[in-house]
Amino acid sequence: MTPVKLFLAALAVALMPSMTSADTQRELSQELFEAAHLGYMPIVIDLVSRGANVNYMNGRRETAMHGAASRGHLHVIQYLRAHRAYLHPRTVENWLPLHHAVRFGHENVANYMLANGAPLYSRTRTGQTVFDIAEATGNIRMLNLLERYRRR
């Protein structure tokens, strides 16, 4: 979804009088997930200011934090955290935002997550650790980063 379409969708939700406040918050929160995933910071700020739930979970229990981590949007993660978003929520498959950051090679996000208490040895439902994921992707720099945290 383009930034303009996302903004117009958010605006339409805000102007719908027939929706209950719970419906409105759910819609805003779903849009927040999309905006965080795409890294559209002005829209993230707007949606949070209008009451989007920063800890909203979709059907797979993914949050905006997961979406931002998977795409490497550290600025969005820091903003969400400043607005009381959980930094380490788990999906139905037991994936943390850290797992996503490692999988997609976002070292800056992985470093931030680890520096802020992400569990280094947390396993996904299939038993993978972040070390397993980094190894599977062949990301030597990520493995080195993880190893530095292991030695602490």
pLDDT at 25: 86
pLDDT at 18: 44
Domains in the chain: boundaries: 3-150
Percent of the chain with pLDDT over 70: 88
Contact 68, 32 (CB under 8 A): no
Q: What pTM does this model have?
A: 0.85
Q: What is the DSSP letter of 124?
A: -
CATH code: domain 3-150 is 1.25.40.20
Write out the two tokens for 88: 């380490």
Look at residue 37 and tell me whether its pLDDT is greater than 60: yes
Q: What are phi and psi for residue 127, nearest 5 degrees?
A: 90, 5
